[in-house]
Every structure is written in C-alpha cells, then in structure tokens.
Structure 1
Amino acid sequence: MAVRSLGYRSDLMLLGLQGSVVDRRDGYLAVRTPANPTYHWGNFILLDTPPAPGTVASWVSTFHREFPDAGHVALGVDGVTGDAGEPEELAAASLDVERSTVMTADTVHPPPRPNRDAHFRVLDGDEDWSAALALQEATNSGPDVEGYRVFAQRNLAAMRRLQERGCGAWFGAFVNDRMVSGLGLFTDGSGLARYQAVDTHPAYRNQGLSGTLVYTAGRHALERLNAHTLVMVADPSYVAIRVYRSVGFTDSETQVQLEPKPSTTTPA
C-alpha cells in the first residue's frame, strides 16, 4: 500500500501498531480503528489523489458507505504539495481544507532557552497516565467535553499499550510533581518515529517546556529506539511550529485533511 505522504505513512504506522485495519479499495484506502470508533483520523478514507473535478460529493458518499454509523466525515488526500481539489466544489460540499506542515529531523538540539526547572521523564504508573489525561482535557476545550474525554481516554490507553510493548513512550514535564507538558513518540522499528499530541498547560506556556520535551523525547528515540527520522505534523499558523524548528525540525511537505465545517459535525 504505497503512500507518498510521509505524514500519512507515519499516521498509518501508528494506527497499525494500535490494531487499526487498512483496506485497499479502487482509488483509496479505508482505515478503521475498531477500538476507538469516534476517532476521526482513525476512521477515514485516504484518497490516492486529490478529488478530480465533479467527484467531491461522490467521495463523501463513499465515506458514508464505508462508515455508515459514523458521526463524522474524514477524507485524507495523499500527496506532498497541499493540493486538495477544486475550492469551489469543496465549499459546496461544506468541506474545510486543513493543511498541516510535515516536519522532519535526523538529529535534535536543545531549544534556545531550555527549561531547567521541570523534571522530564517517561510516564510510569496509573497516576502519571491520569495526569496525562487531565492535561489533555485542560488544553483541548470544545463544545463536546464528554465526547473528547472518551476519545482521549481511549487514545491514551492505546498509547500506554504501545509503551508497554517497547514501541516508544509518553513523556511528561513535571513541576512540583504536577504534569504540565506532555507528548508521545512512537515507532514500529522501521526507522520512522512519530510525535503525538504536544500539549502544555495554559498556565505554564512560554517557559521552554515543550521545546525541551520535544528535544528530550527525540534524543530518546534516536539513541534508544534506533530511529533515524523523527516526524512531527504541525499547524503552520500556530506558534508551536517555531518551537519545533528551534530544536532542529525542518519543513518537509504539506498534509491535507478534508472535514465538514465545524457547524456541520460533532467534534471527536
């Protein structure tokens, strides 16, 4: 199942480690994560190419045929340039285009102002994983609080199982024994290692925590997990992308996701 996009290749790597099922269809991949059915980007179709003119509505119908019980629509577009199809046609189908920057590094260095006060370590035990969930809830506010909590609980449980299998780790930054920043970094042994969910509590931002944590986790993967390429997917308009660049990441390609406009779907 050749996928050009490094962003989607690393997505599929992580999903495969979690037991997701990927089926080849004519012109697309159908990706399912039975253990987390409300996870939009664990239950989606990945188009081989941007939708051709006149086909957007049919691709939405294809998604509904593959996922008849889903409360969402999620269409990925394989590629590296950010081409998503005809803007007018996407708008007529009430689809938003989200373009993310796929970043890579084969080495990392400390940020310009590393945090030297927090304690940075791999999570260990129920209390730590509960703290990771609380942090994600604090940093991901939205209208469907309970829906997000269910998703986050399932996702972190899957990440914990991967850590227990030796596929990577979830890292935390702790200040006075409180987890205030966190992220995951996982690999299937192929040499690619993908970051997940870089979060810092709003009260602790701008203190060098996330940059130091990204650097710490990257060193761990390069030195202990035989990784040779670290992959980070970032919002190009958000300040965090500058943090990732400051520790050695460079922009590699653009990843495209198509979802209904916020008013037409319930967030996961």
Structure 2
Amino acid sequence: MRIASLGFRTDLMVRGLGGSQISDRGSHLVVRTPANPVYWWGNFLLLRERPGVGDWPGWVAEFTREFPAAEHLALGLDSGDGNVEDTAGLEALSMDVLVDTVLTADSLRPPTSQPAAEIRPLLSDADWAQIARLRMSLTEGPPDPHLSQFADVKTRESRSIAEAGHGAWFGAFVDGELVCGAGLFSDGSGLARFQNVETHPSFRRRGLANALVHQLGTWGLAQLSASRLVVVADPGYHAIDMYRNLGFEDAEHQVLLQRPPSA
C-alpha cells in the first residue's frame, strides 16, 4: 500500500526505525509496536480510503480483531485534505477526531533571538534520563506509574534510533537542567521528521523551542542529508506560528481518530 499522506508516511518511517511491525492488508495497514502496546499511535490501523456513512463500526470491529487486548482505539486516514465523512457515526462511537497540520521546510530562517541556554545533542545516560523527566513534567494531576513506564519505553526507543545513526535528540539546558527537547529522525530517503518538541512549563515563552528547532533542523539538513524537514502541529496551538516563523509552510492535514481507554 503506497502511503499518500506525508504525515503518516513519516510516522511509519519512524515507527519502522523504532522496530514496529507494519503489515499490509490491502485496504489498510496494521501498525503494531509489541514493545509498547499502550502506545496508541504505535498500535493502530491506517485506512487507505475514507470510510463512508455507516462504515465506521466495521473498522472498529477490524481494529478489535487485530488488537483484541487493546483498551484504546486508533484509526488513521491516508489522505491529506483533512476531511472526514459520517462525523455523527464517529460521535456515536465516542471517537475523537483530530486534524493536525503537516508543515515542511527545505531551509530554515534563524530565530530572532538566542536564549541563554546550551543547546546540544543528548549524549549520556543522565541526558536521556532527563528527557523522560521532561515528558512527565508536561502531565497534570498525580503521578501515573503507567505513564512513567510509557515515557521510559519511548525514551529508550528514541535513544536506540539516534544511536543507530538515524538522527539525534537535542536538548536545551539551563544550569545543567534539560528544559526543552526534540528529536529529528530520517531513514535516508531525504525526509526528516521532528519528534516531540517539548518545553518544561516553567520555561515556556523564552524562545527555547524556537532556537532548538532551528539548530536541530539545520543539523539534520547537513548531517542526515535531508532535503525536506517535516513537522506535525496542532493548528490551534501557538507552536504552529513558531514553525511558520522559522520557514515551515503548511503542506497538508493529517486525520487521526481515537478513543481513549476510559471511553
């Protein structure tokens, strides 16, 4: 199955580098990540065509057949226009519809200011441990051991991809503390996909992510022989303006349909 969506094409590129299993069923792909079964978008179906009115229950049943132990539900649409049919049917199934913006750039404009931080690749065990802690700082409510385990597994996967030579994870350090981080991975195809641009809540609005994305993207264009940088953003979140200011342009939309375990 040829992937038309640039968002999902680069998602699957990273999933493959991370060891996920991708099976082609003709009408859809089954993406499975045995090392992290609670990772929704590591265990999902990617549908080749947009389902019509009344078709969604059949795809829910297909997901259940492929992932009988899963408590979540995740379906992607291989299209770039952001359109979804039968939203009433999805609502009846308690499905959330997410439409993200896929942006691309072949060069980056420098940020307007340089924050007081050391920006560099993660190198040591201590560096990588800070990424997991940063991810946990973004959650609200009491500590969740399941979320902590998920963050640890994702961090180990990202480190293995970077250490295999498929990219890097950069951090912005203030007084030795990692307060902003992001990854950039490529399979050598010319596409490089950003991963998890995250800033500690206490250090936001200081230009850290702006400077980090620029430095990491510039590194990727040179060191990964990438000709096109790809990032996916929530169109309603302010970070999308940061990407556009750096030179990213809107390319398409990515449709993700999900139902959390509690629904």
TM-score past 0.5 threshold: yes
Deviating more after overlay: 17-26 vs 2-11: 17-26
How far did 1:138 drift?
0.3
Which position in structure 1 is the counterpart of 2:120? Answer: 121
Q: 3-state SS of the aligned residue for 2:146?
A: helix
Q: Which amino acid aligns with 2:61?
A: S
Q: 3-state SS of the aligned residue for 1:166?
A: helix
State how far apart, in whole Å, the 2-side matches of 1:153 and 1:128 are.
13
Given the superposition, is the C-alpha separation of residues 61 and 142 from structure 1 closer, same or farther in structure 2, using an over 3 Å criterion?
Answer: farther
State how far apart, in whole Å, the 2-side matches of 1:220 and 1:197 are.
17
State how far apart, in whole Å, the 1-side matches of 2:90 and 2:114 are.
43
Q: Which amino acid aligns with 2:173?
A: F
State how far apart, in whole Å, the 2-side matches of 1:45 and 1:160 are.
26
Task: Say if 2:69 is the partner of 1:73.
Answer: no
State how far apart, in whole Å, the 2-side matches of 1:75 and 1:194 are.
21
After TM superposition, list the pairs within 5 Å mapping 1:49-198 onto structure 2: 49-115=49-115, 117-141=116-140, 145-198=144-197
State how far apart, in whole Å, the 2-side matches of 1:156 and 1:263 are.
25
State how far apart, in whole Å, the 1-side matches of 2:231 and 2:217 are.
11
Given the superposition, is the C-alpha separation of residues 173 and 164 from structure 1 closer, same or farther in structure 2, using an over 3 Å criterion?
Answer: same
Deviating more after overlay: 253-262 vs 49-58: 253-262
State how far apart, in whole Å, the 1-side matches of 2:160 and 2:9 are.
21
Task: Say if 2:238 is the partner of 1:239.
Answer: yes
**1:123-152 deviations in Å (ceiling 9; x for gaps):** 011100111111110013367722221111
Q: Which amino acid aligns with 2:134?
A: L
How far did 1:242 drift?
0.7
How far did 1:261 drift?
6.0
Given the superposition, is the C-alpha separation of residues 197 and 241 from structure 1 closer, same or farther in structure 2, using an over 3 Å criterion?
Answer: same
After TM superposition, list the pairs within 5 Å mapping 1:3-18 onto structure 2: 3-18=3-18
How far did 1:50 drift?
1.4
How far did 1:92 drift?
1.1
Q: Which amino acid aligns with 2:220?
A: A
Give yes or no for contact 1:135–1:201 (8 Å, CA) kept in 2.
yes
State how far apart, in whole Å, the 2-side matches of 1:247 and 1:227 are.
17
Q: CA RMSD in A?
A: 1.3
Give yes or no for contact 1:18–1:158 (8 Å, CA) kept in 2.
yes
Unaligned ranges ≥5, structure 1: none
Task: Say if 2:214 is the partner of 1:221.
Answer: no
State how far apart, in whole Å, the 1-side matches of 2:260 and 2:91 are.
9
- The number of equivalent residue pairs is 263
**1:82-137 deviations in Å (ceiling 9; x for gaps):** 0122111111111110000001000012222332x100000011100111111110
